[in-house]
Structure 1
């Protein structure tokens, strides 16, 4: 049953990928760009970090701490920070974001959430962009899911609006290993053709317990420079005391 569902999931992902237009996007899920609809329990926190190096010498170092707070309902608040080199120039950005789940995910049904935020130049404080995205997740079974993202991006540096898109497939094929493949991008008018070309990533996550995981990811065209990328990422989680680690039980994503 698991292998059959996996084949169905891969076929569904491939069908949607063939239909999607070219573009660019960046969401969240550790170093992956396509987000799932789930969020953690109120009171839980995590720190995601990764290093990405490209074949054209571009580089990115990222730290993304987040916590789920209980407002009128659980809301995940995060602060994505990056230090990057592109075409020999260094820059630093800060990206605050808030995410809320509206329909929980479950096997055989759709769950969805929404998140919004903006990015700022860490040196000048200039507001660079604003965005809003709806992640939708369909669980094929307890170990496989398809994530679809759609949203909006306002690039204030050129005062242009883009449609964000993404699709990803996750398969936890052992108790500690998960495979992810995803495509994502942004669609719209751009003076730089590579900025609206599709991006691609695939990688493995090793998660020996509910606290720690490490990702090794290959990516193509991640920042619109037609380069190959290698990413090494880690996540350290701080679960709510006394809670059950639902997302790491045997057979669960």
Structure 2
């Protein structure tokens, strides 16, 4: 994480639940959910940001899912709020012989900044309810920021 030119670290906790009648896992072709997240800045030892997002998932084919999201966030450090957007894909590499590996990519931004970001990486699924992500990110315009994200998802 980079804040005011300084590098730091943060931890984010995120919850997600499907909108009743639009559970992507149940109908397997289209889904809408609600997510909420809160971040904690480990460098400054305080709460950082909260967000609420509506993600939409559409299965195009067996290995390919397209995703879009729209949401709102508030950053306590700058005391600013923003409207967020994103578009992504998930391509399961099972047809290529890598059953537990998925290529993931996304672009995202918000209404307060004119420099969208992009990320590309892999998701490893060692068990049906566990995902491990390793993602490289880059700011597309403006300051040439790069980052590496490691993530874990547990579903229950």
TM-score by structure 1 length?
0.47
How far apart are residue 226 of structure 1 and its match?
Answer: 1.6
1:156 aligns with 2:156: no
**Match for residue 67 of structure 2?**
147
How far apart are residue 107 of structure 1 and its match?
Answer: 3.9
Count of residues in Structure 1 that have an aligned counterpart in Structure 2: 147
Tell me the SS of whatever aligns to 1:129. Answer: strand
Tell me the SS of whatever aligns to 2:78. Answer: coil
The equivalences for 1:28-67 within 5 A come to: none
How far apart are residue 151 of structure 1 and its match?
Answer: 0.2
2-structure distance, mates of 1:99, 1:148: 15
Indicate which of 112, 123, 148 corresponds to 1:205.
123
1:135, 1:150 within 8 Å by CA — same for their partners in 2? yes
Higher relative contact order (CA 8 A, sep 6+): 1
Mark the runs of 5 or more structure 1 residues left unpaired by the alignment.
1-83, 189-194, 241-253
**Match for residue 69 of structure 1?**
none
1:212, 1:234 within 8 Å by CA — same for their partners in 2? no
Higher strand share: 2
1:104 aligns with 2:23: yes
Mark the runs of 5 or more structure 2 residues left unpaired by the alignment.
none
2-structure distance, mates of 1:208, 1:122: 29
CA-based RMSD = 3.3
Higher helix share: 1
Given the superposition, is the C-alpha separation of residues 206 and 114 from structure 1 closer, same or farther in structure 2, using an over 3 Å criterion?
A: closer
Q: Deviation per CA, 1:183-230, whole angstroms, max 9, x where unpaired? A: 011112xxxxxx5411111123344554765544332129x8423344
2-structure distance, mates of 1:119, 1:217: 18
Tell me the SS of whatever aligns to 2:57. Answer: strand
1-structure distance, mates of 2:64, 2:3: 35
Indicate which of 18, 38, 46 corresponds to 1:118.
38
1-structure distance, mates of 2:4, 2:76: 21
Tell me the SS of whatever aligns to 2:73. Answer: strand
1:99, 1:114 within 8 Å by CA — same for their partners in 2? yes
**Match for residue 109 of structure 2?**
185
Tell me the SS of whatever aligns to 2:107. Answer: strand
How far apart are residue 133 of structure 1 and its match?
Answer: 0.6
Q: Deviation per CA, 1:69-123, whole angstroms, max 9, x where unpaired? A: xxxxxxxxxxxxxxx5668845444444432211211344x21111223334447
Structure (1 or 2) with the larger CA radius of gyration: 1
1-structure distance, mates of 2:151, 2:45: 28
TM-score by structure 2 length?
0.70
**Match for residue 136 of structure 1?**
56
